[in-house]
């Protein structure tokens, strides 16, 4: 029979003054501890609280010994434990490091004061943790100790190459000095130092060993009350590692540091990996929220599905096999978000168009063993695909916001994750985009409405302008066209034909028809904002010279730009792309309507080149639908999600398949949920919220995940589901019914 093991002692507690805390003590930090995170608000509060307690008690007539009778101040609890003969802090790191900085500052303040010689020596011994060799400090974290030494000796400090948490330690000393009250620098300095050492206290909870120290750490910091999601994720994933935990912690911190383009970037990266790898585990709305808000809790709740094996190290493998190998590539993608990068231009374009979660598909497609070249080609394929989605939606005046992108990505994740090679990925995305290409015919009929689609029209014109400018050697970048520059106004959408009435009396076309035509895409160019403001209500023939100085697309309206001297490169480039007959300059007096239509055909031809499958790297299916009226979304082949994108509510509304203000009803769990069909095909639920797609409307109305909104909503008058109406629509326009 196995002998019972001896019982561990209970947690012990004792009161410590600051002097006791540091006298002959040195503290280490274990792998599960986060770095130093206190910033200005926390530092100002601790100085203000200490000052508010000390100052009312201090009097200039008091001696330093009188401080013994001052009221004390309690700074809270710290948790310690023993491991390998050393003392570790499980909780209280932020306060202990901040106090150490304060003691170093007090030492520097007293070093040249004759009456403080003894105090100065005491302070120096305390900050060293009783180290007689005068080499170590009371908090023994390698990178910090170098800075502590520089601060103690008054040596210059550089932040070059410092990690973010070390920079916060450096900033903390600066903030403490800036906030230090003037009285505590002069007459009250010695009194305050003595009070801080002997009348400010903690309660130390001794956990005993590392196992219980970590348990108490988790209990004190559970559910993010003190630690953030990133800290909890590290603690959860690394807790069962086979490898040296301190070394693993350093590797984790290195990953986090390299991703800190902004404070949320490391956590967003891990969320993206979790969504990309585990998208098919619990797809309820509650689960999606948990992935974002508390990813460590979500991983723990679904551990059996994610890691069916009980082997040790399975959690840490998510870090060592996926997060760590891929984080450098994600950092490059983040840089491409901020600045146009060759080969990854569409990453910047998608960021400009506020595409949420644009890297979910990218990380689903990547494998840790992918070469750098393979990584960037896959990233380019995905970014180009999303950009194509934006453009073909925008041309039809359809939204491309969070809901639409989320549906698209969710539908493609299974196939994208299964694709191993670039060719596999190109085929998956090509099949999904096959039905989008006929929508470029909308270029000829799309209109500019400043109040609703200005951003899209500006983007579309910028891409056409940049393509032509680059092709003829002008070097114009779309990023420059789309962003404000320090030395000039941003580019603006310019109407070729003024809205002033009576300006074109020689036209057979009535003014009212000109007003309708002038807003079509073919009646627009993109020019510098200063030129846009100065040209005002001029006739087009009077603006041709300024256009010629602007960019090649605007300049092509002038006869000399197409056929004049010095246009050889331009003529060669447009001939190379079979556009010669489409570049027709404007002739004063020619009919406005036909000219705008001709210009629209030019813009369509350019767009089909800019976003061609060959240019984007997409492999189209062997048989593609002919041009004409086609489905409106991603043709995803064998995936059920295909029908989410084949037809939109706006398509059904345009065909008049459902009357405006028709009542919709959906039933779930015995409850009826009502909504209204709006004239443009959007759905307004009872809360007043409006949706462009049926599934989010159903989810919000019920407060639950309903599956398909197409089958949930029924037209109350006809008793037909939206799925049935969609089938009728498809039969009417193509003679083919598509399953719900």
pLDDT tens digits for range 467-484: 999 998 876 678 888 887
pLDDT tens digits for 507-540? 656 566 667 788 899 999 998 766 655 566 788 8
Residue 614: pLDDT band by 50, 70, 90 thresholds? very high
Q: Residue 494 burial by CB count (10 A; 0-12/13-18/19+): exposed, middle or buried?
A: buried
Crossing angle of helices 265-277 and 402-418, rounded to 10°: 60
For residues 397-419, give the mean pLDDT.
Answer: 88
CB within 8 Å of 298: residues ≥ 6 apart: 274, 287, 290, 291
Strand-pairing partners, residue 86, are 83
676 backbone dihedrals φ, ψ, rounded to 5°: -125, 135
Q: Which two tokens stand for residue 518?
A: 């002038």
Per-residue model confidence (pLDDT) at position 106 = 93
Q: What is the helix (H) or strand (E) element at residue 28, kind and residue range? A: strand 27-29
pLDDT tens digits for 267-288? 999 999 999 999 888 877 777 7
CB within 8 Å of 305: residues ≥ 6 apart: 281, 282
Query: Is the pLDDT reported for residue 165 higher than 80?
Result: no
Lowest mean pLDDT among 226-230, 408-412, 695-699: 226-230
Per the model's pLDDT, the better-predicted residue between 243 and 337 turns out to be: 337
Per-residue model confidence (pLDDT) at position 197 = 94
Per-residue model confidence (pLDDT) at position 634 = 44
Domain boundaries, the chain: 12-223, 228-338, 442-616, 647-734
Per-residue model confidence (pLDDT) at position 610 = 96
pLDDT tens digits for 73-104? 998 889 999 888 889 988 888 899 999 999 99
177 backbone dihedrals φ, ψ, rounded to 5°: -65, -40
Strand-pairing partners, residue 558, are none
CA 146 to chain centre: 35
Per-residue model confidence (pLDDT) at position 6 = 62
For residues 239-264, give the mean pLDDT.
Answer: 81
Query: Is the pLDDT reported for residue 319 higher than 90?
Result: yes
For residues 161-185, give the mean pLDDT.
Answer: 83
For residues 181-204, give the mean pLDDT.
Answer: 90
Residue carrying the six token digits 């050492």: 197
Strand order of the sheet with strand 690-691?
Answer: 690-691, 683-685, 671-677, 662-668, 714-715
Lowest mean pLDDT among 105-119, 209-223, 381-395, 718-732: 209-223
What's the DSSP call for residue 447? B
What is the three-state SS of 261-292? CCCCHHHHHHHHHHHHHCCCCCCCHHHHHHHH
Per-residue model confidence (pLDDT) at position 735 = 45
Whole-number mean pLDDT of the chain? Answer: 84
Q: How many CA atoms lie within 13 A of 299 on its CB side?
A: 25
Terminal Cα distance for the chain, rounded: 66
Residue 721 to residues 200, 724, 726, 737, Cα–Cα distance (Å): 71, 5, 9, 15
Query: Is the pLDDT reported for residue 222 higher than 60?
Result: no
Residue 31: pLDDT band by 50, 70, 90 thresholds? low
Per-residue model confidence (pLDDT) at position 11 = 76
Query: Is the pLDDT reported for residue 604 higher than 80?
Result: yes
Q: Which two tokens stand for residue 206?
A: 């001794």
pLDDT tens digits for 374-401? 999 999 999 999 999 999 999 998 888 8
**Residue 413 near residue 360, CB atoms below 8 Å:** yes
178 backbone dihedrals φ, ψ, rounded to 5°: -65, -35
Residue 722: pLDDT band by 50, 70, 90 thresholds? very high
Query: Is the pLDDT reported for residue 585 higher than 70?
Result: yes
% of the chain with per-residue pLDDT over 90: 37
Lowest mean pLDDT among 62-66, 298-302, 490-494: 490-494
pLDDT tens digits for 679-707? 888 899 998 888 888 888 888 888 877 77
pLDDT tens digits for 657-678? 899 899 999 998 788 999 999 9
Alpha-carbon distance 258 to 266, whole Å? Answer: 9
Query: Is the pLDDT reported for residue 644 higher than 70?
Result: no
**Residue 602 near residue 583, CB atoms below 8 Å:** yes
Query: Is the pLDDT reported for residue 503 higher than 70?
Result: no
Per-residue model confidence (pLDDT) at position 69 = 93
């Amino acid at each position: 029979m196995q002998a019972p093991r001896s019982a561990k002692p209970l947690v012990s507690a004792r009161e410590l003054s600051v002097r006791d805390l540091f006298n002959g003590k040195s503290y280490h930090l274990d792998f599960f501890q986060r770095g130093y995170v206190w910033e200005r608000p926390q530092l100002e509060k601790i100085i203000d609280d200490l000052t508010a307690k000390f100052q009312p008690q201090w009097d200039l007539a008091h001696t330093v010994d009188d401080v013994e009778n001052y009221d004390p101040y309690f700074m809270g609890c710290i948790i310690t434990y023993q491991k390998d003969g050393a003392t570790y802090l499980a909780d209280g790191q932020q306060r202990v490091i901040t106090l150490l900085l304060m003691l170093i500052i007090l030492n520097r303040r007293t070093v040249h004061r004759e009456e403080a010689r003894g105090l100065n020596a005491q302070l120096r011994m305390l900050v060293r943790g009783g180290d007689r060799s005068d080499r170590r400090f009371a908090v023994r974290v390698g990178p910090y100790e170098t800075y502590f030494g520089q601060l103690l000796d008054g040596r210059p400090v550089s932040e070059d190459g410092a990690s973010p948490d070390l920079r916060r330690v450096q900033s903390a000393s600066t903030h403490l000095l800036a906030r230090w009250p003037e009285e505590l620098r002069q007459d009250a300095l010695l009194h305050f130092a003595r009070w801080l050492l002997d009348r400010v206290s903690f309660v130390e909870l001794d956990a005993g060993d590392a196992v219980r120290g970590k348990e108490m750490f988790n209990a004190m910091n559970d559910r993010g009350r003190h630690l953030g999601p990133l800290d909890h994720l590290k603690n959860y994933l690394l807790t069962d590692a086979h490898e040296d935990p301190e070394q693993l912690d350093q590797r984790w911190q290195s990953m986090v540091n390299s991703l800190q383009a902004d404070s949320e970037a490391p956590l967003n990266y891990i969320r993206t990996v979790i969504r990309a790898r585990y998208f098919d585990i619990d797809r309820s709305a509650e689960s999606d929220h948990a992935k974002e808000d508390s990813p460590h809790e979500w991983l723990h709740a679904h551990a059996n599905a994610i890691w069916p094996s009980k082997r040790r190290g399975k959690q840490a493998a998510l870090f060592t096999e996926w997060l760590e190998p891929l984080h450098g590539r994600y950092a490059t993608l983040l840089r491409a978000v901020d600045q146009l990068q060759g080969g990854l231009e569409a990453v910047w374009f998608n960021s400009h168009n506020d595409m949420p979660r644009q890297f979910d598909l990218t990380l689903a497609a990547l494998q840790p063993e992918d070469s750098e070249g393979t990584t960037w080609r896959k990233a380019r394929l995905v970014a180009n695909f999303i950009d194509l989605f934006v453009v073909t939606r925008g041309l039809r005046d359809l939204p491309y916001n969070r809901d639409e992108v989320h549906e698209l990505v969710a539908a493609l994740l299974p196939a994208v994750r299964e694709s191993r090679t670039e060719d596999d990925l190109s085929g998956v995305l090509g099949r999904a985009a096959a039905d989008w290409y006929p929508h470029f015919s909308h270029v000829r009929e799309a209109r500019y409405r400043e109040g609703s689609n200005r951003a899209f029209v500006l983007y579309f014109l910028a891409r056409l302008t940049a393509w032509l400018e680059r092709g003829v050697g002008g070097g114009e970048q779309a990023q420059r066209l789309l962003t404000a520059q320090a030395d000039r106004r941003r580019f603006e959408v310019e109407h070729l034909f003024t809205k002033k009435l009576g300006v074109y009396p020689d036209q057979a076309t009535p003014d009212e028809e000109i007003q309708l035509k002038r807003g079509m895409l073919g009646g627009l160019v993109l020019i510098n904002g200063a030129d846009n403001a100065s040209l005002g209500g001029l006739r087009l023939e009077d603006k041709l010279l300024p256009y010629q100085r602007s960019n090649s697309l605007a300049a092509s309206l002038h006869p000399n730009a197409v056929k004049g001297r010095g246009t050889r490169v331009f003529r060669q480039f447009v001939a190379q792309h079979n556009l010669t007959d489409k570049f027709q300059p404007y002739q004063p007096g020619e009919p406005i309507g036909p000219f705008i239509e001709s210009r629209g055909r030019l813009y369509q031809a350019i767009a089909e080149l800019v976003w061609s499958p060959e240019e984007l790297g997409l492999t189209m299916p062997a048989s593609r639908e002919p041009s004409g009226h086609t489905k409106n979304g991603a043709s995803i082949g064998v995936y059920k999600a295909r029908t989410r994108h084949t037809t939109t509510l706006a398509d059904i509304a345009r065909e008049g398949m459902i009357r405006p203000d028709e009542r919709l009803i959906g039933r779930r769990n015995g409850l009826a949920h009502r909504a209204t069909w709006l004239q443009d095909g959007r759905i307004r639920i009872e809360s007043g919220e409006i949706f462009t797609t049926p599934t989010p409307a159903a989810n919000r109305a019920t407060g639950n995940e309903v599956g398909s909104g197409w089958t949930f909503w029924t037209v109350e008058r006809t008793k037909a589901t939206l799925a049935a109406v969609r089938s009728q629509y498809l039969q009417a326009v193509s003679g083919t019914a598509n399953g719900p």
